[in-house]
């Protein structure tokens, strides 16, 4: 029987979920991000919204904060899972170079401004470090939506965010040191407290290496997948509780638990199992933060809130711009990174809430800072747009390269895009003495290629003046080898119109893209996986004992049929020519023999089954006349 108290709890959960379902999709629709949506939902449910009529816990959001903080614990655990030593080492220069410089420089500027505003050095230190962090969730989502995660700008942004994530736990530990209210250690001496804390950390590492991994291996062997999820939850909560019991942050415990499992072969399984818990609980945490924002205080100090939000974003953008310029990025990329990471991060809510608990900040200061974080998150898309707009203004006009002409006054090849595909193609051309000019927007590619003597220049192949400066008007062939399909199509259309004398060769990403490129005017296109897949299949045939000459005949036949099919698809669409190039049907036999013959449930089903059998029989009789090829979207 459900008691009245249990019914109230269920009603509260329904209200939280209902508000999230209503507000968060709308926030996503207007492109302000899910985090801002959760904050708005919290404001509506809080004591300054409908919470004043609903009573506890909506009128007293602090009662819900411990539940919401479980989301932060889960997030830190998942961050720890991603920080395996191999990944850290491959990104070490960007993470510990650009990342540490950004956090240090931003924290210094923000902290000095706060200190000269009249706050103590302890408050200035913690606030400066906290506001120097950016929103990992928001920034990564923007990078993903814009398709920029693999660009130089995206890679550097991710490296900086990774270092910021690593700084969360040290900031929490530093806050406990400088806070006026000391941590209750049971009146133990300082050395004893430090020894206990260090021993606890070592215990967690030992448990992860020598107990959890064998335990997960056992669960996987016996097929108890749900036990792996239960063990992961127990690990996170147990580590968080243990660290809190010895006077450290529960977030530190979750972080260490994640790091100690980062090398486990079950890491991805754990990440997939815990992701739903993380998302839901973290959303709940942001709702409780929104409920805690003092709207009356914000209303009375709205000028200060807006001014501080704008000032913070400008300071962070300029500091990030300076750091990334010193690390070798172009002005345009540096400004875009600054605009993307200019907002304050979600962990500021955690740190400022904890600061109130240890009397480092008062509730009004915490409300002001939380409001500033919320406003900077809401303004992030605007800062991204502005940074791109100003970035174009900072983009230098390309200098026309001094390209030596071949006989007849024509440059051989202009290659646009110098990734893996473009590099291999260029090697063959240069080996035969062709004059090759390369355009790329990846600073690292340019630096590396320059060392090997490539004639490579920084430039966006979508800009007509860049192409002209690179000698496109004199090129015999323009090879478009860019990574993104839409970029390739755009360049092919433009070059075909503006440089009709040049032959356009293009890299296609799949069959559908190949058809688009031919329609756009490409003289030759090649799907990036076609030749490698054909050679792979030929090697398998030889391994199975097929004669080498016969495998090359098969290879040539498949190429011919593929070209014929593509020609049909250019006219009739992707599925044109399906019947002419259909593989012979192979009857599929059940792995387990059925216990009884199947019977139709009714007369229409019986007629349908008979029709299918008749069609299968006719198809079997004509199978020898069909072609051994079937279209795909590769």
Per-residue pLDDT tens for 143-169? 766 767 667 788 788 888 878 877 877
Write the CATH number for 502.
3.40.50.720
User: 360 and 425 share a domain?
Assistant: no
- 272-276, 313-317, 427-431: which is most confident: 313-317
* pLDDT at 321 (0 to 100): 93
Answer yes or no: is 613 within a domain. no
User: 345 and 454 share a domain?
Assistant: no
Contact 393, 458 (CB under 8 A): no
Banded pLDDT at 7 (limits 50, 70, 90): very low
User: 378 and 419 share a domain?
Assistant: no
- Out of 528, 562, 586, a domain closes at 528
* pLDDT at 453 (0 to 100): 67
Angle, helices 100-116/152-178, rounded to nearest 10 degrees: 50
- Mean pLDDT lowest for which of 81-90, 112-121, 328-337, 386-395? 81-90
User: Which tens digit of pLDDT belongs to each residue from 608-617?
Assistant: 677 777 766 7
User: 364 and 510 share a domain?
Assistant: no
Write the CATH number for 138.
1.20.1530.20
Helix (H) or strand (E) holding 426: helix 420-431
What span, in angstroms and rounded, lies between the C-alpha atoms of 632 and 634? 6
Predicted TM-score of the model (pTM): 0.55
Answer yes or no: is 211 within a domain. yes
Average pLDDT over residues 346-364: 81
User: 81 and 224 share a domain?
Assistant: yes
Answer yes or no: is 550 within a domain. no
Answer yes or no: is 558 within a domain. no
- Look up the domain containing 305 and give its range: 4-184+192-392
- Mean pLDDT lowest for which of 176-190, 372-386, 439-453? 176-190
The pLDDT of residue 289 is above 90: no
User: Which tens digit of pLDDT belongs to each residue from 210-239?
Assistant: 787 788 777 767 767 678 778 778 888 888
User: 419 and 382 share a domain?
Assistant: no
Answer yes or no: is 400 within a domain. no
Provide the 8-state DSSP code for 262.
Answer: T
Q: Strands 456-458 and 411-416, how do they pair?
A: unpaired
Between 357 and 581, where is the model more confident? 357
* pLDDT at 403 (0 to 100): 41
Provide the 8-state DSSP code for 210.
Answer: I
Answer yes or no: is 404 within a domain. no
User: 467 and 523 share a domain?
Assistant: yes
Number of domains in the chain: 2
The pLDDT of residue 632 is above 60: no
Between 312 and 627, where is the model more confident? 312
Average pLDDT over residues 506-530: 89
* pLDDT at 411 (0 to 100): 54
User: 160 and 127 share a domain?
Assistant: yes
Place of tokens 């992707």: 574
The pLDDT of residue 189 is above 80: no
- Out of 359, 392, 425, a domain closes at 392
Pull the structure tokens for residue 220: 């996987």
- Out of 477, 500, 528, a domain closes at 528
User: 323 and 456 share a domain?
Assistant: no
Residue 94 Rama label (left phi>0; alpha psi -120 to 50; beta)? alpha
* pLDDT at 459 (0 to 100): 77
- Mean pLDDT lowest for which of 15-24, 33-42, 495-504, 577-586? 577-586
Answer yes or no: is 540 within a domain. no
Handedness of CA 495, 499, 502, 503 (dihedral sign): positive
User: Which tens digit of pLDDT belongs to each residue from 12-32?
Assistant: 778 878 888 888 888 878 766
Residue 291 makes CB contacts below 8 A (sequence gap 6+) with: 42, 43, 45, 46, 47, 51, 58, 61, 64
Answer yes or no: is 175 within a domain. yes
User: 428 and 352 share a domain?
Assistant: no
The pLDDT of residue 244 is above 80: no
User: 420 and 370 share a domain?
Assistant: no
User: 177 and 264 share a domain?
Assistant: yes
* pLDDT at 216 (0 to 100): 75
Residue 465, phi then psi, degrees to nearest 5: -65, -30
Helix (H) or strand (E) holding 411: strand 411-416
Banded pLDDT at 361 (limits 50, 70, 90): confident
Residue 593 makes CB contacts below 8 A (sequence gap 6+) with: none
Which residue, 363, 373, 368, 366, is CA-closest to 352? 366
What span, in angstroms and rounded, lies between the C-alpha atoms of 376 and 258? 29
Cis-peptide, bond into residue 402, ω within 30° of zero: no
User: Which tens digit of pLDDT belongs to each residue from 45-79?
Assistant: 878 777 777 766 666 666 666 666 677 677 777 76
Banded pLDDT at 5 (limits 50, 70, 90): very low
**CA-based angle 251:282:65, to the nearest 5?**
70
């Amino acid at each position: 029987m459900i008691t009245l108290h249990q019914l109230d709890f269920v009603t509260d959960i329904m209200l939280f979920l209902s508000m999230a379902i209503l507000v968060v999709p709308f926030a996503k629709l207007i492109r302000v991000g899910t985090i801002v949506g959760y904050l708005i939902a919290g404001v509506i449910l809080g004591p300054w919204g409908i919470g004043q009529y609903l009573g506890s816990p909506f009128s007293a959001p602090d009662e819900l904060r411990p539940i919401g903080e479980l989301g932060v614990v889960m997030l830190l655990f998942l961050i720890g899972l991603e920080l395996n030593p191999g990944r850290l080492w491959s990104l070490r220069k960007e993470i510990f170079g650009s990342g540490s410089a950004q956090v240090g420089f931003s924290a210094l500027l923000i902290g000095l401004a706060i200190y000269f505003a009249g706050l103590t050095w302890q408050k200035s230190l913690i606030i400066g470090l906290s506001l120097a962090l950016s929103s990992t969730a928001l920034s990564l989502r923007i990078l993903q939506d814009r398709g920029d995660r693999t660009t130089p700008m995206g890679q550097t942004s991710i490296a900086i965010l990774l270092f910021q994530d690593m700084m969360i736990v040290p900031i929490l530990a530093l806050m406990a040191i400088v806070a006026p209210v000391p941590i209750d250690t049971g009146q133990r001496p300082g050395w004893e407290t430090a020894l206990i804390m260090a021993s606890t950390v070592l215990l967690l590492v030992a448990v992860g290496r020598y107990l959890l991994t064998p335990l997960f291996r056992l669960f996987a062997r016996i097929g108890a997948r749900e036990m792996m999820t239960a063990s992961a939850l127990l690990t996170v909560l147990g580590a968080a509780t243990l660290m809190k019991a010895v006077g450290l942050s529960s977030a530190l415990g979750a972080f260490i638990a994640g790091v100690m499992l980062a090398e486990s072969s079950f890491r991805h399984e754990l990440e997939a199992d815990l992701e739903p818990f993380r998302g839901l609980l973290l959303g709940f945490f942001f709702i409780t933060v929104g409920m805690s924002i003092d709207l009356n205080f914000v209303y009375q100090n709205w000028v200060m809130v807006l001014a501080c939000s704008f000032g913070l974003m400008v300071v962070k953008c300029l500091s990030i711009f300076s750091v990334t310029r010193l690390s070798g990025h172009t002005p345009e990329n540096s400004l875009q990174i600054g605009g993307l990471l200019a907002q304050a991060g979600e962990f500021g809510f955690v740190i400022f809430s904890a600061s109130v608990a240890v009397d480092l900040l008062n509730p009004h200061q915490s409300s002001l800072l939380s409001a500033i974080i919320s406003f900077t998150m809401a303004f992030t898309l605007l800062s991204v747009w502005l940074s791109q707009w100003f970035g174009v203004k900072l983009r230098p006009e390309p200098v026309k390269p001094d390209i030596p002409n071949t006989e007849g006054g024509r440059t051989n090849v202009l290659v646009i895009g110098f990734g893996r595909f473009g590099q291999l193609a260029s090697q063959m051309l240069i080996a035969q003495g062709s004059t090759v000019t390369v355009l790329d927007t990846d600073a690292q590619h340019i630096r590396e290629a320059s060392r090997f003597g490539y004639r490579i220049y920084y430039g966006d192949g979508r800009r007509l003046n860049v192409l002209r400066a690179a000698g496109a008007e004199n090129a015999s062939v323009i090879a478009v080898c860019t990574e993104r399909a839409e970029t390739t199509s755009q360049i092919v259309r433009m070059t075909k119109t503006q440089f009709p004398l040049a032959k356009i060769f293009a890299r296609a990403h799949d069959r559908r893209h190949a058809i688009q490129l031919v329609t756009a005017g490409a003289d030759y296109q090649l799907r990036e996986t076609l030749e490698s897949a054909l050679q792979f299949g030929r090697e398998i045939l030889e391994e199975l004992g097929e004669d080498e000459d016969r495998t090359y005949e098969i290879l040539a036949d498949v190429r011919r049929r593929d070209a014929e099919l593509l020609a049909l698809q250019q006219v009739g669409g992707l599925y044109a020519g399906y019947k002419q190039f259909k593989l012979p049907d192979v009857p599929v036999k059940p792995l387990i023999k059925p216990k009884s013959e199947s019977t139709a449930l009714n007369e229409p089903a019986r007629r349908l089954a008979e029709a299918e059998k008749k069609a299968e029989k006719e198809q079997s009789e004509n199978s020898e006349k069909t072609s051994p090829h079937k279209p795909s979207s590769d």
